[in-house]
Amino acid sequence: MHRRGTVFEELAVEVMAELPTDEARCEVLELVELVRADPRGWPDVRDPGSVEEIREAFGSRCWIQFMPQAGAVEVREIGWAG
């Protein structure tokens, strides 16, 4: 799945499809847009020694794990607590 400078990994696409409401999907996509605007403004959570830059961002009821890419972000995981 691609969305304006964002690539969603397969697991993230599956989670998006399983979110309970359109409101939930909108909340996740709003967080993705915030991340896309400033991908390095969120905490780096990679394991020591990892070469992949992995970051996490949190909304009020959701979170995403992503990797900044050249001009884009790759959403790897989505969590929903709503």
What CATH class is the domain 6-80? Answer: alpha beta
What values do phi and psi take at 15, rounded to 5? -65, -45
Domain edges within the chain: 6-80
Residue 11 in this model has a pLDDT that exceeds 90: yes
For position 62, what pLDDT does the model report?
A: 97
Phi, psi at residue 47, to the nearest 5°?
-70, 150
Question: Is pLDDT above 70 for 19?
Answer: yes
Query: What predicted TM-score, i.e. pTM, was given to this entire model?
Result: 0.88
Distances, alpha carbon 9 to alpha carbons 12, 14, 17, 48, in Å: 5, 9, 13, 23
Burial class, 77, CB count within 10 angstroms (exposed 0-12 / middle 13-18 / buried 19+): middle
Least confident range from 2-11, 12-21, 63-72: namely 2-11
Q: What is the pLDDT of residues 29-80, one digit of tens each?
A: 999 999 999 999 999 999 999 989 999 999 999 999 999 988 789 999 999 9
pLDDT at 5: 80
